[in-house]
Amino acid sequence: MALLLDMDGVLYRGSTVLPGVPQALDIASTQGYTLLFATNNGWAPHEQILDRLHSMGFSAEPGTVMTAAIASARLLHRHWPATRRPYVLGSEEVARQLRNAGLTPVPSDDEMTADSLVVGLDLHLSYRKLTHAQAVGLQGVPFVATDLDGAYPWEDRWLPGSGAIVAAVEASVGRKATNAGKPSPLMYELLLECAPPSSIPVVVGDNLKTDICAGRSAGFPTVAVLTGIASAEAIATAVPEERPDYVASDLLDAVTRVLPQILAVSDGPVSIVR
């Protein structure tokens, strides 16, 4: 079994590790599950996220953690291989991952030489930056969003997410971005390259509109945990395409109670929808 795990809201909330998570990861690892991590976080450095897992007592290999920044670079390279000079309205991590993919992000004062546009969470957003992004987008170049999360939970409050910035750029250029993050199943597709071909992929997440929708669109069993965004009431009233196959109180409950149920009824590995 390959567990496709969301992170914020499943493993931790803000800077606080959720109860039972280290034990759940240890049990899943001991039972031979392949643990894969997919986060719509596109601003935190990949190494920082790996360190976060290490601090929880779990040593993850770099290829088993997929961020929205990495997915954006892979998406741009895969679908528009001729692009070389993206303009980035987002974090330095997005620019770094684009450089790792062989691309050269253009400086803000040279935006009209850009051949693509990548937008994500920018903690220093300004009207000037939005103007530059609009100028690039109006040229009709490929337009990629790291993710469309309008808000994300942080400790005991909510903060604006990448989707709020993407929406502003979309409104200013009059067209939609191609989304690299969940609910697109791209992250899951990329992560499963690290899993044995015989693995049964199972999605575990806390967000019905991203984690669960991505899993359902890929045809994978989905488990919603109640430690993040989704509540029992929201799940009960969700539209069919956002409704999980299983519900668990937390990750430990998912690993010890729900996953054995999935194994018991599984007919074997499920192929991702491409």
The model's pLDDT over 29-43, given as tens digits with 9 standing for 90+, comes to: 999 999 999 999 998
- pLDDT at position 151: 79
Compute the residue count for the chain.
Answer: 274
Q: Under DSSP, is residue 36 helix (H, G, I), strand (E, B) or coil?
A: strand
Please say if 253 is a catalytic residue.
Answer: no
Cα dist. 184→120, 202, 235 in Å? 15, 16, 20
Residue ranges of domains in the chain, CATH in brackets: 2-40+183-265 (3.40.50.1000), 82-179 (3.40.50.1000)
- pLDDT at position 200: 93
- Residues 215-266 pLDDT 10s: 999 999 999 999 988 999 999 999 988 999 999 999 999 999 999 999 998 7
Cα dist. 222→102, 203, 256, 268 in Å? 35, 5, 15, 15
Mean pLDDT calculated for residue range 133-152 = 94
> Which position among 8, 206, 211, 245 bears the catalytic label?
8
Give the Cα separation of 94 and 81 in Å (integer): 17
* Mean pLDDT of the chain, nearest integer: 92
> Which position among 6, 122, 149, 206 bears the catalytic label?
6
Please say if 6 is a catalytic residue.
Answer: yes
pLDDT at 20 over 90: yes
Give the Cα separation of 258 and 223 in Å (integer): 8
Q: Which helix (H) or strand (E) holds 157?
A: strand 157-160
pTM over 0.95: no
Long-range pairs of 27-32 with CB within 8 A, sequence gap ≥ 24:
27/252, 27/255, 27/256, 28/3, 28/255, 28/259, 29/58
Report which of 46, 98, 101, 39 is spatially closest to residue 68, judged by C-alpha positions.
39
Residue type, 68: A
What percentage of the chain exceeds 90 in pLDDT?
80
